[in-house]
């Protein structure tokens, strides 16, 4: 099988490394509009060769590891692929992407969200075992062809992923809380501190808690602004609910309701029994 990867950053590059261990994959082709990414990906051995967009259409399977708005755009240029070619997107939002898939290739299309990643980006951020033991959510599979479903499941299983099936609408609601809200909060925390503290104080006093909470604010602004745009309504709702909880905390502190505050904090710690 010949596999093509469009987008050679963290997700695409890590996928290329993982696919190299699958015996039935004979060739891994890469394409990226950023020429330096292409050169770097080839140098790092993330793919076997760099090809043009026209050439990548000849692959048996094409992965879209690019920002979610770009996925919608690229799909419009894949209408002429063979019926046997499988297209898999790796975007963090699903409902808007699925609604944008051209009808000519809907049966070819697999909507996937690997729940994996780091705050780093670009080809040099690629990690060979990024996907191993992580969850991948596959959405609205009833509209995908059986051959394409089976192929995607086979690939994700071979790279060690745990597969979950979900409705795209529900996926985006859940993702707004579990993935998108934490990123919004991390960016907000970083900006609030940068606006108040001088860099020297940040370096001297920032402990593990601050570093943990602000780490994902290093993530690609281009990628995450696209995600926030596509999942706008769900994310706004998640932020509203968070603001309500933060307001409760503020009120209890202001009014010195310490026992109530302690109980509120204790309720929050039960989350780790689930995790």
pLDDT one digit per residue (tens) for the chain, 275 residues:
999 999 999 999 999 999 999 999 999 999 999 999 999 999 999 999 999 999 999 999 999 999 999 999 999 999 999 999 999 999 999 999 999 999 999 999 999 999 988 888 899 999 999 999 999 999 999 999 999 999 999 999 999 999 999 999 999 999 999 999 999 999 998 888 887 767 677 767 777 787 888 888 888 898 999 999 999 999 999 999 999 999 999 999 999 999 999 999 999 988 877 76
Do 2-166 and 171-274 share a fold?
no
What pLDDT sits at residue 273?
77
What pLDDT sits at residue 275?
63
Classify the phi-psi angles of 160: left when phi > 0, otherwise alpha if psi is within -120 to 50, otherwise beta. left
Whether the Cβ atoms of residue 148 and residue 82 lie closer than 8 Å to each other:
no
What pLDDT sits at residue 203?
66
Identify the CA nearest to 112 among candidates 15, 25, 188, 206.
15
CATH 3.40.50.300 fits 2-166, yes or no: no
Q: What are the boundaries of each domain within the chain? A: 2-166, 171-274
CA distance 130 to 272: 23
What pLDDT sits at residue 195?
76
What pLDDT sits at residue 252?
97
What pLDDT sits at residue 193?
83
What pLDDT sits at residue 253?
97
> In CATH, which superfamily holds the domain spanning 171-274?
6-phosphogluconate dehydrogenase C-terminal like domain (1.10.3660.10)
Whether the Cβ atoms of residue 62 and residue 85 lie closer than 8 Å to each other:
yes
CA distance 215 to 239: 19
Strand ranges across the sheet with 135-139:
49-50, 27-31, 2-6, 61-64, 86-89, 109-114, 135-139, 162-166
CA distance 181 to 240: 10
């Amino acid at each position: 099988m010949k596999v093509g990867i469009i987008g050679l950053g963290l997700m695409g590059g890590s996928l290329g490394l993982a696919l190299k261990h699958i015996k039935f994959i004979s060739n891994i082709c890469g394409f990226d509009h950023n020429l330096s990414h292409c050169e770097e990906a080839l140098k790092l051995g993330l793919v076997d060769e760099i090809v043009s967009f026209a050439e990548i259409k000849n692959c048996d399977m094409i992965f879209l590891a690019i920002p979610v708005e770009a996925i919608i755009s690229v799909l419009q240029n894949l209408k002429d692929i063979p019926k046997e070619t499988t297209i898999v997107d790796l975007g963090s939002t699903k409902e808007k992407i699925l609604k944008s898939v051209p009808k000519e290739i809907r049966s070819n299309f697999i909507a996937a969200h690997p729940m994996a990643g780091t705050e780093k980006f670009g080809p040099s951020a690629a990690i060979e075992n990024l996907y191993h033991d992580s969850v991948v959510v596959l959405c609205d599979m009833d509209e995908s062809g059986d051959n394409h479903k089976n192929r995607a499941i086979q690939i994700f299983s071979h790279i060690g992923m745990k597969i979950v099936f979900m409705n795209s609408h529900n996926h985006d609601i859940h993702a707004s809380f579990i993935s998108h809200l934490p990123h919004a909060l991390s960016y907000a925390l970083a900006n609030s501190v940068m606006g108040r503290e001088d860099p020297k104080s940040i370096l001297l006093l920032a402990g593990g808690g601050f570093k943990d909470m602000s780490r994902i604010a290093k993530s690609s602004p281009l990628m995450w602004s696209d995600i926030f745009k596509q999942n706008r309504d769900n994310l706004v709702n998640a932020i509203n609910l968070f603001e309500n909880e933060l307001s409760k905390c503020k009120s209890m502190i202001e009014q010195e309701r310490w026992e109530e505050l302690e109980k509120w904090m204790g309720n929050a710690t039960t989350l780790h029994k689930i995790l």
